[in-house]
Amino acid sequence: MKTAAQPIGIFDSGVGGISVWREVRQLLPYENFLYFADSANCPYGNRSHEEVLKLSEAATRFLLHHGAKTIVVACNTATAAAVKHLRSQFSIRFIGMEPAVKIAAKNTQSRHIAVLATEGTLKGNHFQNTMKRYASDLDIMLQIGHGLVELVEEDRIETPEAKQLLRQYLDPMMHRKVDQIVLGCSHYPFLKPLIETLIPPHVSVIDPAPAVARRLRAVLKEEQLLNRQGDGKTHYFSSGTGKVLQRMVAHITNTTPEVTLLDSLV
Ligand code: DGL
């Protein structure tokens, strides 16, 4: 039986899921976390459905082995490929990423919205269904963010190269009168400050992480697994060098964390 004192497991293909962890720990300050960055296998976006499934299953087993009471799949690509399968294989609750199309559809004035995500996410049934459900009467521009995950993963966010690549994706959106940009990859919120310098102020950039955090809280309440007296610690694991993970966390918490380095899980 699971108990409230157990940690919440979070995984992503790399450091992107830290954008989700950042919101979750703010909303649930007493929870403990296990964060696994699968940087050795990043990016997931270019991998086959089967590969992402296998990697997601391995990450899940790893987090369960370390005592996770519930798991946040903090990766849109892994959610698209694997969350259904994970729910059928394991008896815990999984919280996946939901592209914030519903919010964009509600807020748009121009009736033109854009979604920036990986190929795996945009092609997945999950996303296609979300689009049909909430935005069938809107003009939706789908843009694969080739190269953006790598920029974040390699700590090249504040570079002219990042600016140039983003312009390539954003300029056509602005020509099409898009006023809502949905970030459909958990790495992209780290690019949000830069994105906002490249678009007019009336255009909103939507990060789904706050909604994911609220969903997690609701699930924990439902399962009576909400921790109200823990010390809010996170144990970090990485299959890469752990360096960027350390820098990103330090930027958020002002302390450089220890990261346990692992070999690739598959
Ligand atoms: N953070 C992952 C996502 O949300 C990045 C995918 C990748 O590794 O390509 O989709």
Q: What is the mean pLDDT of residues 159-176?
A: 98
For residue 234, give Cα distances in angstroms to 29, 82, 199: 11, 25, 35
pLDDT at 201: 97
pLDDT at 11: 98
Say if residues 262 and 237 touch (Cβ distance below 8 Å): yes
Ligand 1: centre distance to CA 199 (Å): 23
Beta-bridged to residue 181, according to DSSP, are: 114, 205
Pairing between β-strand 234-238 and β-strand 259-261 as defined by DSSP bridges: parallel
pLDDT band at 1 (very low <50, low <70, confident <90, very high): confident
pLDDT at 99: 85
Task: Give the whole-angstrom CA distance, residue 231 versus residue 191.
Answer: 30
pLDDT at 176: 98
Digit-coded pLDDT (tens) for 241-261: 999 999 999 999 999 999 999
In the three-class reduction of DSSP (H, G, I as helix; E, B as strand; rest coil), residue 9 is classed as strand
pLDDT at 157: 95
pLDDT at 88: 98
pLDDT at 116: 98
55 lines ligand 1 (CB under 6 A): no
Q: Which residues contact 21 (CB under 8 A, 6 or more apart)?
A: 10, 33, 35, 74, 234
Q: Where are the domains of the chain?
A: 8-97+210-261, 101-207
Q: What is the mean pLDDT of residues 176-200?
A: 98
pLDDT at 134: 94
- Residue ranges of alpha helices (H) inside the chain are 18-27, 49-65, 76-89, 101-107, 119-123, 125-135, 148-153, 160-175, 192-197, 209-222, 243-253
pLDDT at 48: 92
75 lines ligand 1 (CB under 6 A): yes
Pocket test for ligand 1, best of 10, 11, 12 (most atoms within 8 A of CB): 12
Q: What is the mean pLDDT of residues 89-107?
A: 96
Which ligand 1 atom lies nearest to the CA of residue 185?
4
Ligand 1: centre distance to CA 39 (Å): 10
pLDDT band at 35 (very low <50, low <70, confident <90, very high): very high
Pocket test for ligand 1, best of 18, 21, 38, 42 (most atoms within 8 A of CB): 42
pLDDT at 198: 98
Q: What is the pTM for the complete model shown?
A: 0.96
Pocket test for ligand 1, best of 11, 36, 52, 75 (most atoms within 8 A of CB): 75
Digit-coded pLDDT (tens) for 60-87: 999 999 999 999 999 999 999 999 999 9
Which ligand 1 atom lies nearest to the CA of residue 16?
1
Q: Mean pLDDT of all residues in the chain? A: 96
Digit-coded pLDDT (tens) for 19-33: 999 999 999 999 999
Task: Give the whole-angstrom CA distance, residue 33 versus residue 31.
Answer: 7
pLDDT at 213: 98
44 lines ligand 1 (CB under 6 A): yes
Q: In the CATH scheme, what architecture does the domain 8-97+210-261 have?
A: 3-Layer(aba) Sandwich (3.40)
Pick from 91, 68, 71: nearest CA to 79 = 71
pLDDT at 139: 97
45 lines ligand 1 (CB under 6 A): yes
pLDDT at 98: 85
pLDDT at 240: 95
What CATH number is given for 101-207 in this structure? 3.40.50.1860
240 backbone φψ class: left, alpha, beta (φ>0; ψ -120 to 50): beta
Ligand 1 atom 8 nearest Cα = 43
Q: What is the mean pLDDT of residues 176-188?
A: 98
pLDDT band at 46 (very low <50, low <70, confident <90, very high): confident
Active site residues per annotation: 75, 185
Ligand 1: centre distance to CA 224 (Å): 30
pLDDT band at 226 (very low <50, low <70, confident <90, very high): very high
Q: Please check whether the two domains, 8-97+210-261 and 101-207, share a CATH topology.
A: yes
186 lines ligand 1 (CB under 6 A): yes
